[in-house]
Structure 1
Amino acid sequence: MLGEMEFRSDEVAPADRFDHWREQVAGSFMPMEVRSEYAGDFAVSQRILDLGAVRLRTTEHSPMTVRRTDRLVRRSDPGYYHLSLAARGSTKVVHPDGDARYDEGDLILMDTSLPHHVEMGGGASREQVLGMGLFVPRELLPLPANGVGKLVNRPMSGREGVGALLAQFLTQVCRDSVSYQPADGPRLGTVALDLVSTLLAHTLDAEGTLAPETRRRALLLRIQGFIQHHLADPDLTPAMIAAAHHISLSYLYRVFEDEEATVAAWIRRQRLERARRDLADTALRTTPVHTIAARWGFPRAADFTRAFRGAYGVPPATYRNEIRGATR
């Protein structure tokens, strides 16, 4: 399991919850003023995952405003860029260079060295706000500081392109955190940093400033995301993937050189794993095996049976029966 800190307001006496939350905010990252119209009945849960030099935070909370003033910046500055993803509820960032509002699926970059305040939720709605934030030491971004500075307080899409890939990656890390080992944390942090760097460089149209290895890893993640999205397409081939990413087939193979599997083997492994999950799903117990096989890119039942047996040691029908017997 990854290193993790968690705070839940329901573990604190109601009268003390908001004060404890303010202390938690200041102690977790940096001094901030915290205010809320719902201080008397405040609800919040927060998780902070340790990804090496990078920290990933998810927070679900009542509407609130956090303020970082010049005085607080002078008192303590951890030297982070904070990339925030709005998962539920709208957010407004008030900044000396202009305000920015971002909605669900948007990403926004903030700098802990600059004063700002952020209004999360509120208005006519008391809906819980859900957000995710990645804290990255400034010196780790392989981009010119003056270029990154142009992106501060500028909303970017987390619904398409590299932004969507980053949002999906962070969401999956949070969802599957218990399945990782502590040693995986720094590796996941490196992937997160590569994706953030690629997103910012793409937005700046400056991808040439990234190190070749960073570009290769980011491209690999984009390709793997593309494959996951098209697994059901029986025409998914290395040639089709290369064309979709405007690269040569030989370069696609080089991208996968340092991986444990070739691109074709990676596709097959992902398809088999999706099929295996469906076979174990009790909600699909009446769906024929060949239908599940075709759904995940195996139009020939014999080919699926042979591949499944090779991967898991038993035919798919036997696997399904064994799973049913184990769950009775």
Structure 2
Amino acid sequence: MASERMTVSTLGGANVFEANSFEEWQERMSNRFVRLQVSTNRPENFHALLHGRSFDDISLSRIESDAHQVDRLQDFICQGESKYFKLSMLLGGAGLVVQDGREAVLGPGDIAIYDTSRPYSAVFEDGAESLVMVFPQEALSVSSEGVAALTATTLSRGSSMGRLIGPFLGELAANLDGFSGHAGIMLAHNTLDLINTLIYTELGLGAKRADHKADSLAEVKEYIERNLGSPGLGPAAIAAAHFMSTRRLHYLFEGAGTTVTSWIKSRRLERCRLDLLDPALGSATITQIAMRWGFLDSAHFSRTFKAAFGATPSEYRRIH
């Protein structure tokens, strides 16, 4: 069986997988993140190598492979399953990403993003090497509707943000085996923050957003992210800052399947969780961390945190 020939090892905390046949690669990749169809025109003597790391719900992989294609078919997409974005940066060789009627031809240094909740195809030529980052859609401040304007496009290397992020991702891929523990978690989330900034920049440079509603929601989420530490952050203040009614504000979030209050709470909890994992904040009290992100009642914060993560803040910090 192919699974008996697979070479899987651990190096510096990374999972290293080497496939010496296409059957091995097909078996490994078909369900690594979401269900995929994997194919090649030359299955004989196929070889591929994958270094993979996972930090919380963010996955990073450096992939080197012979020519192959992956397809996310409509029949593979199930209602209610988790939705992810995939971001690929080509490190070497050539590739192609197809989604939403667009094609992005990728060369070394090019970046493309695609959505696992809709069909897509990715094609890689012989010798292609890439960094693939997979993360939940809700991890971005930009709505999925907003990101839809950028799927299967080559994110600009000519912009100042593209010139900054490209080399960073290249260094990250080259040193993927060297990060672990708290430092790895922080690095993964910092990388996601940079990706978020890149997407905002690309949209702001003139890419058409899906519609005005998605545009407004993205701006509101960005405002919330910048003001999470303010105790007065709430629907009325947010609506006033954006010159809209609270009814309009609630309507924006209804379309995203959540509420304003729930979104604020989830983002504050996530910031608190990351602070609890940060060794540099080891001397900060639970109350200080809670107040830093807008929680004024320690007891309420503790109950809310436990409901979200299954442990009180102090227990979570001790365990992790």
Task: Report the equivalent of 2:94.
Answer: 90
State yes or no: 1:60 paired with 2:31. no
Task: Report the equivalent of 1:146.
Answer: 145
Relative to structure 1, the CA distance from residue 87 to residue 178 in structure 2 (aligned partners, 3 Å threshold; closer, same or farther) is closer
Task: Report the equivalent of 1:254.
Answer: none
Q: 1:117 aligns with which of 118, 121, 124?
A: 121
Task: Give percent identity, aligned residues only.
Answer: 22
Q: TM-score, normalised by structure 2?
A: 0.58
Q: 1:27 aligns with which of 27, 31, 47?
A: 31
Say whether the 8 Å CA contact 1:53–1:186 is kept in structure 2.
no
Say whether the 8 Å CA contact 1:52–1:185 is kept in structure 2.
no
What's the offset of the Cα at 1:38?
Answer: 2.0
State yes or no: 1:200 paired with 2:178. no
Say whether the 8 Å CA contact 2:99–2:114 is kept in structure 1.
no
* 1:39 partner SS: coil
Q: 1:6 aligns with which of 11, 16, 31?
A: 16
Superposed CA deviations along residues 106-130 of structure 1, whole A, max 9, x for unmatched, are 1111000111112211xxxxx4111
Greater helix content: 1
What's the offset of the Cα at 1:178?
Answer: 4.2
Q: TM-score, normalised by structure 1?
A: 0.57
Say whether the 8 Å CA contact 1:30–1:77 is kept in structure 2.
no
Superposed CA deviations along residues 179-205 of structure 1, whole A, max 9, x for unmatched, are 433221210111111101000011111
Relative to structure 1, the CA distance from residue 78 to residue 18 in structure 2 (aligned partners, 3 Å threshold; closer, same or farther) is farther
* 2:102 partner SS: coil
Task: Report the equivalent of 2:107.
Answer: 103
Say whether the 8 Å CA contact 2:114–2:151 is kept in structure 1.
yes
Give the aligned residue type for 2:58. V
* 1:155 partner SS: coil
CA RMSD of aligned residues (A): 2.5
* 2:41 partner SS: coil
| Structure 2 counterparts to residues 1-328 of structure 1, below 5 A | 3-10=13-20, 17-74=21-78, 77-121=81-125, 127-158=126-157, 160-205=159-204, 210=222, 211-212=225-226
Say whether the 8 Å CA contact 1:30–1:76 is kept in structure 2.
no
Larger Rg: 1
Superposed CA deviations along residues 8-31 of structure 1, whole A, max 9, x for unmatched, are 124xxxxxx211111110232111
Give the aligned residue type for 2:133. L
Task: Report the equivalent of 2:307.
Answer: none
- Cα distance between partner residues in 2 of 1:193 and 1:129: 24
User: Which stretch of structure 1 is more off in the superposition, 144-153 or 186-195?
Assistant: 144-153
Relative to structure 1, the CA distance from residue 188 to residue 203 in structure 2 (aligned partners, 3 Å threshold; closer, same or farther) is same
* 1:6 partner SS: strand
Give the aligned residue type for 1:104. P
- Cα distance between partner residues in 2 of 1:82 and 1:173: 16
Relative to structure 1, the CA distance from residue 158 to residue 5 in structure 2 (aligned partners, 3 Å threshold; closer, same or farther) is farther
* Alignment length (residue pairs): 204
- Cα distance between partner residues in 1 of 2:195 and 2:69: 26
Unaligned regions of 5+ residues in structure 2, if any?
A: 1-10, 205-214, 229-279, 281-320
Say whether the 8 Å CA contact 1:81–1:109 is kept in structure 2.
yes
Relative to structure 1, the CA distance from residue 103 to residue 178 in structure 2 (aligned partners, 3 Å threshold; closer, same or farther) is closer
Say whether the 8 Å CA contact 1:86–1:106 is kept in structure 2.
yes
Superposed CA deviations along residues 293-325 of structure 1, whole A, max 9, x for unmatched, are xxxxxxxxxxxxxxxxxxxxxxxxxxxxxxxxx
* 1:41 partner SS: coil
What's the offset of the Cα at 1:91?
Answer: 1.6
* 2:180 partner SS: coil
What's the offset of the Cα at 1:160?
Answer: 5.0
Say whether the 8 Å CA contact 2:102–2:153 is kept in structure 1.
no
Say whether the 8 Å CA contact 1:48–1:55 is kept in structure 2.
yes
* 1:74 partner SS: coil
Give the aligned residue type for 2:226. P
* 1:40 partner SS: coil
- Cα distance between partner residues in 2 of 1:128 and 1:204: 32
Give the aligned residue type for 1:189. A
